[in-house]
Structure 1
Amino acid sequence: MSSIKTIKSRRVWDSRGNPTVEVDIILDSGEMGRAIAPAGASRGMREAIDLRDGGDHLRGMDVSKALDNINRIIAPALIGQNVEDQEAVDNIILSLDDSKLKSTLGGNATVATSLAVLHAAAAAAKKPLWRHIADHYGCTPSIPLPEIQIFGGGAHASGRVDIQDFMIMVPGADSFDEVMEVTSAVYFAAGEIMESRGKLAGIADEGGWWPLFDSNEEALETLVQAIEKAGEKPGDRVVISLDIAASEFGTNDNYRLALDEHQMNSEELVDMLGGWIDKYPIASIEDPVGEDDTEAMQEFTRRFGDRVQIIGDDYLVTNADLVEQAVKDKACNSVLVKVNQAGTVSESIQTFRTAQKAGWGAVVSARSGETEDITISHLAIGLGSEQLKVGSFNRSDRMAKWNECLRIQDELGADTFVGGRPMQSTWWGKS
């Protein structure tokens, strides 16, 4: 047994230049695990809350209260605990905060600590993190299919377009490396098209192009053109994935697309997205309606669930109970798994397993405020998740995670990549 000897916390900085929390777990054997808490801009109302100091200093974003909670409350409770028992350690962390959304300790404090424990356990076992995860949770590791942003919008690009993410996937690729090649071609083709038309404003939070489109649908049209410019046939090897993030521009039965100057109800929003599915090679849609609009989510799933992957993000906030309810409600058919949305590793994996048990998809995801931490690449591979959503093909906080997948693929072998399958046997092209 390897016991926790020391816990150190420090303030570091994320990809947006905001303070965040890093934790070191040092074991009695001398091994160490380290992890950093990410932060989201588009946040579900039921996800774990990052604890910030408030006030004028650092725009209220400092994390000294979260660090103090780690040093004063969490660390004393975890010293001497068996680092190999992730669930027991996470349960201790959960017992220290009786608030519903971890607002007392701070979700940033709990997730950095929980992830650091996972790293320390892998170090103690002298295994790569992905292998430790696979062994500990009884999973078959595999290299996931990336979901990669080309245009950033919504809260990630100051609302330049209302839709948050315009992404591509390359399910027809035979390896992760092939996905990277194709994505590179599409990404830079999109930038060239935008620049030639005066539509390029810069780079958004997650590394996607920051657009100056005149409508939301212009982004889809341009994305199809970029796929073609890259020498690909849209809907063949390359398909489109959207994160609508509808809660950012509407609530139950009341949505407003500011760019299009269009007000609509839930039925009209569902119809609009259905029209896009008919017109463009869209294989996956995330949060097509608001997090409080269950009837519309059920209707969207009823109409399109056999044609596209429907992911719940703000709608499910990496919560196993909400996934169970959504399965009963027949709302969504996949869940986005963000560890900091839940607050601990164990809660996140419980959500992943609940989705798998229901026959759903489970997409491991980064946040818009990221760091050099590459844990989620290992988590997706170790759990055998079929998809990984990290952001775009730009910014080192994103590329570090894609590059780690390439390194692990070298160890596991290209035949463990989940793509390269007959299109008719997968969710992105059911016959």
Structure 2
Amino acid sequence: MTQIQDIRAREILDNRLEPTLRVTVETAAGCATADVPAGRSRGEHEAVEVRDRDDRYSGLGVRRAVATVEEQIAPQLRGRSVFEQRLLDELLVEMDGTETKSTLGGNTITGVSLACLKAGATAASQPLYRYIGGATTSTLPIPFFDMIEGGELSGSALPFQEHQVVPIGAESVSEAVRLAAEVYYELGDLVAAEYGEASLNVGDEGGYNPIGLTDPRDAFDLELRAIEQLGYQNAFALAADVAASQFYDPDTDRYAMMGTTMTRDDLLEFYEDLVDSYPIISLEDPLHENDFEGFAELTDRLDTQIIGDDLFVTNPDRIHNGIARGAGNALLLKVNQIGTVTEACDAAQLAARNGYSIQVSERSGQTADTWLADLAVGLDAGQIKTGVTRSERTEQYNRLFEIEANLGQAGTYGAGSSKNQPFGSAGETL
């Protein structure tokens, strides 16, 4: 019942109308499919995607990846048990033979690994989150909502990529999503009134794009006003995905932001002022992706969560380096950054053992596949980042609603993150 009978793949479209990969693994217990996400804001140390680079879809097609799955990978994995996830993933890594997964493709490997995982859950007659986390899995993650977008995700002039609201004062996922939705509606009214109806256009993850807004502090002010007008001050804190590599110039070692340039020290002082002025509980990628020293200094200076995304790229080797140097205190986990489920879970366990919090994250290119929600619960992560609106985002929330209902009284909202106290004293509501 658990042996792989066949592995198939096809080219599908993500939310940006760009091709991605859907992989199907067949056993006697049934078929399981997994869709592969794709990032727009990508770190230089991530696993490499294989794209066709021809005339179709401006070179973004994945027919090569489909052929790799069916002609190279499937013959090697047929007959093996889907319960042997680590062995299957090790075989994929061995077949590829490169650190960046450039032979088979990170997207190809991710699709096969995830489809095998889902096939294992099907064969075990378990929901995916239970198959990942075991019988005691009970943590429902705190969602980080990207209400106003900038950087690579939008057409606005804001340097920070995401300006987030975080419902840490909610008592359940369903309440957290409801409160955030109401803030989103209220924020839309403020944005339209002050920046025009065109500013209600959204970025890749559903956040607003206020025209003419260039200062992250103005974005946070808008979010605070929406929260306060609803009387939800006791429910929310703020956070940001800075994605600083996007406005860093390695030639000058300077950050270009708000019409000026900043040194690392200038930027660290800016963050200190920002956290002093706003109830910010988390900063993601506040410095460029190779600045372990700067991350360590900021982690020491601020009593808040400092997340490594491009810094760590879900890679155990880079996480080891960060731990040794005291760089950051939280990991952004993206399976397709490293390639396989096993490597991603190893990264999460390494981070958690060393007191780092885990935030499971989507990519800007998503489909309606909801394995991300199950992964966040199964890993006991306690935090999830999956955008705001658009169906590929809201389907993750709908899946969390289902899991919450299945867990019933056993479910605990945000318990995974609170164990490590990731937010420090800043983890207070407004």
TM superposition score normalised by structure 2: 0.94
CA distance in 2, matches of 1:159, 1:335: 27
Picking from 244, 267, 270, the partner of 1:269 is 267
| Compared CA separation, residues 423 and 335, structure 1 to 2 (3 A) | closer
CA contact (8 A) 2:2 2:29 kept: no
Determine the C-alpha separation between the residues in 2 that align with 1:111 and 1:332. 26
- Mapped contact 1:298–1:330 kept (Cα < 8 A): yes
Could you report, residue by residue, the CA deviation over 1:372-415 in whole angstroms, capped at 9, with x for unpaired residues? 110010011112111011011x1000000011001110011255
Deviation at 1:251, TM superposition (A): 4.3
Letter in 2 for 1:225: R
State how far apart, in whole Å, the 2-side matches of 1:415 and 1:179 are.
18
**Matched ranges for 1:46-57 at <5 A:** 46-57=45-56
Q: Distance in 1 between matches of 2:155 and 2:111?
A: 28
Alignment of 1:310-349 (within 5 A): 310-349=306-345
The residue type paired with residue 111 of structure 2 is: A
Q: Is the 8 A contact 2:139 2:415 kept in 1?
A: no
Q: What SS does the aligned partner of 1:341 have?
A: helix
State the match for 2:58 in structure 1. 59
Q: Which amino acid is the alignment partner of residue 221 of structure 2?
A: E
Match of 1:359 among 338, 355, 374: 355
User: CA separation of 1:101/1:139 partners in 2, compared to 1, >3 Å: closer, same or farther?
Assistant: farther
The 1:7/1:425 distance shift into structure 2, 3 A limit, reads closer
After superposition, residues 221-370 of structure 1 pair within 5 angstroms as 221-233=221-233, 236-251=234-249, 253-257=253-257, 260-304=258-302, 307-370=303-366
AA of the residue aligned to 2:379:
L
Q: Is the deviation greater in 408-417 or in 106-115?
A: 408-417
- C-alpha change, 1:107 and 1:420, in structure 2 (3 Å) is closer
Hey, what's the Cα distance between the residues in 2 that align with 1:106 and 1:419? 34
Counterpart CA distance in 2 for 1:422 and 1:119 is: 25
Counterpart residue identity of residue 131, structure 2? H
Judging changes above 3 Å, is the alpha-carbon distance between structure 1 residues 423 and 11 closer, same or farther for their aligned structure 2 residues? closer
Instruction: Tell me the CA shift for residue 292 of structure 1.
Output: 1.6
> What is the CA distance between 1:429 and its match in structure 2?
4.9
Partner SS for 2:423: helix
**Contact persistence 1:175–1:415 (CA under 8 A):** no
Contact 1:130-1:141 at 8 Å conserved across structures: no
Q: 3-state DSSP class of the match of 1:130?
A: helix
Q: 1:389 aligns with which of 353, 364, 385?
A: 385
1:177 to 160, 174, 199: 174
1:5 — aligned with what?
Answer: 5
Distance 1:420 1:192, change over 3 A: farther
* SS state at 2:52 partner: coil
Distance 1:188 1:88, change over 3 A: same
Paired with 2:371 and 2:223, the residues of 1 have a C-alpha distance of 30
Note the residue ranges of structure 2 that are not aligned, 5 or more in a row.
none
Aligned equivalents of 1:3, 1:424: Cα separation in 2: 38
Q: Give the equivalent residue in structure 2 for 1:148.
A: 145
Are the aligned partners of 1:172 and 1:419 in contact in 2 as well (CA < 8 Å)? no
Equivalent residues of 2:244, 2:287 under 8 A apart: yes
Q: Is the deviation greater in 82-91 or in 405-414?
A: 405-414
User: Paired residue for 1:205?
Assistant: 204
Q: Distance in 1 between matches of 2:333 and 2:175?
A: 25
Most deviating of 101-110 and 279-288: 101-110
**Equivalent AA in structure 2 for residue 154 of structure 1:** G
Name the CA distance, whole Å, in 1 between partners of 2:191 and 2:270: 24
Gaps (5+ residues) in structure 1?
Answer: none
Matched-pair identity in %: 34
- Counterpart CA distance in 2 for 1:360 and 1:139 is 21
Read off the aligned partner of 1:405 and give its amino acid letter: L
In the alignment of these two chains, the number of paired residues is 421
CA contact (8 A) 2:357 2:417 kept: no
1:176–1:414 CA contact under 8 A, matched in 2: no
Q: Partners of 1:385 and 1:422 in 2: how far apart?
A: 6
* TM-aligned CA distance change 1:421 to 1:3, over 3 Å: closer
Aligned-residue Cα RMSD (Å) equals: 1.9
